[in-house]
Structure formats: structure tokens, C-alpha cells
Amino acid sequence: MKNKILENIKTIFYALIIALIIRSFLFQPFYIPSSSMEPNLLIGDRLFVSKYSYGYSRHSLPFSPKIYDKRIIGKTPKRGDVIVFKTPADNRTDYIKRLVGLPGDTIQIIDKDLYLNDVKIKRKKINDLTNINCGKEIFKADLYEETLPNGKNYITAYRSDGTMMNTNKFIVPDNHYFFMGDNRDCSKDSRFLSSVGYVSFNNFVGKARLIFFSNDKKKGSFFKFWKWNRSIRTERLLKKIL
């Protein structure tokens, strides 16, 4: 009996070690709690983030232990990547946004248009007056397909009855990056320097890759499996994140 208990403890210990290795160095699941990335990521989406995409830092490990202040095997991110990072304000909270600006870039919004290095980002309207969530509010938004200079394109939402019209020019410091949410009028991101601002490369956690599960909370809790036939968004299962 004693040997059986010890074997079970060893099995659980090894399973935890394997899970820790996978979570820290390969893939980690994340849950989308806000609407800042609509229409591309929805509240209730559960996704896998690859931890190896940009190398490793202390934020690759659980609880971000202060054992090393640099990045190991760092790989350069690309404009348009959807990335999970720790907010500079507390180095603890996970945010997920789209990478828009690289070190040395300038970013500015002028009359609703996004400018990168003084060149207006190409965008094409694809839909008018779509319902978009913002916390407990639902507003009408116009959807645009934006295309970055490297050819990366994605869908953004701009509030139809008023948006962030103009900003000062943001200049991205060395080894830092500028992020924006796809739901442009409902996203706390690098435009808000006091709370998010420019994000250090060391704060990167990983690249968002795949939605493995999605549940509409308004139609049933994730834990109420008997309501999954109504709440699961089957069209989003195993959807690649662009």
C-alpha cells in the first residue's frame, strides 16, 4: 500500500514537471476577458500562446521570478503580430494586443487615420455599423481592413459616432514596442502612456496562435457543460489567429 502511494505521488510530481515545462517553454493557454481585440478576439475565447516565438525572459516562468533581467534566444517580432505581454505598470498583468510600432518608429492618429513613420496606413472599409462590445456597452462601429507596410492585414473596428480623432506623435524607444487593440475605441494600449505605454521586449510572454475553445458567457457559463450546445461558438474552434 505504501509503495502504491509513493508511486502515485511520483506520477503526479512528474506530470506537474512536464506541465510546467510545456507551459514555460512551449505553449500556454490564455483566456480573453475583454472586448479590446474585437472583432478578431471575443470575450470567452481561449487560446494557445507560443512561448518560444520571441525567446524567453523571466515572464516566461510562472509568477515572473526576478532571476534574470534579459531575454534569452530573442527573436525579432513582426508588425501585426498578436502578442501577450506583461504591462509595464506592474510587470504582472497579462495584456493581449497587436504590435504596430517597432523601436524607432513614430505613430500618430490624424483625423481618425493611423500614420506610421509619417505614412498613412492603408485601410479599406468592409462593413458599416456593426455591433461591437465595449464593457457593458454595445456601440455601432465601422470595420476596416488595415494593411501594414510589411503586408500584414487584419480587421479593425472604429466607433462610427466618434473616435480618437487626433493624438500627439508617439516615438518608440529602443528595445520597446507600440501596441494597439483592434477595437480602437475600446482598448487601453500604448496610446495611454501612464497605464500601458511603450512595452519592453523583456515583457513579451508569447505570440497568440490558435483559438482552441470559445464560449459565449451570455448564453451559458463554461462550467455549465449542459448548456454548451447553445454557448459554444463552434465556428471559432481551432481558428488560427491572424
Q: Are strands 122-134 and 45-50 parallel, antiparallel or unpaired?
A: unpaired
- Tell me, yes or no, if 64 is annotated catalytic: no
- Tell me, yes or no, if 97 is annotated catalytic: yes
Of 34, 35, 36, 231, catalytic: 36
- Give a three-class secondary structure readout of the chain: CHHHHHHHHHHHHHHHHHHHHHHHHCEEEEECCCCCCCCCCCCCEEEEEECCECEECHHHCCCCCCCCCCCECCCCCCCCCEEEEECCCCCCCEEEEEEEECCCCEEEEECCEEEECCEECEEEEEEEEEEEEECCEEEEEEEEEEECCCCCEEEEEEECCCCCCCCCCEECCCCEEEEECCECCCCCCCCCCCCCCCEEHHHEEEEEEEEEEEECHHHCCCCCHHHHHHHECHHHCCEECC
Q: List, in sequence order, every residue forming a beta bridge with 27; answer none if it has no partner.
A: 50
Of 35, 97, 190, 214, catalytic: 97
CA distance readout (Å), 16 to 20, 48, 56, 105, 218: 6, 19, 20, 42, 34
Look-up: residue for cell 488560427? 240
Catalytic residue numbers, as ranges: 36, 97
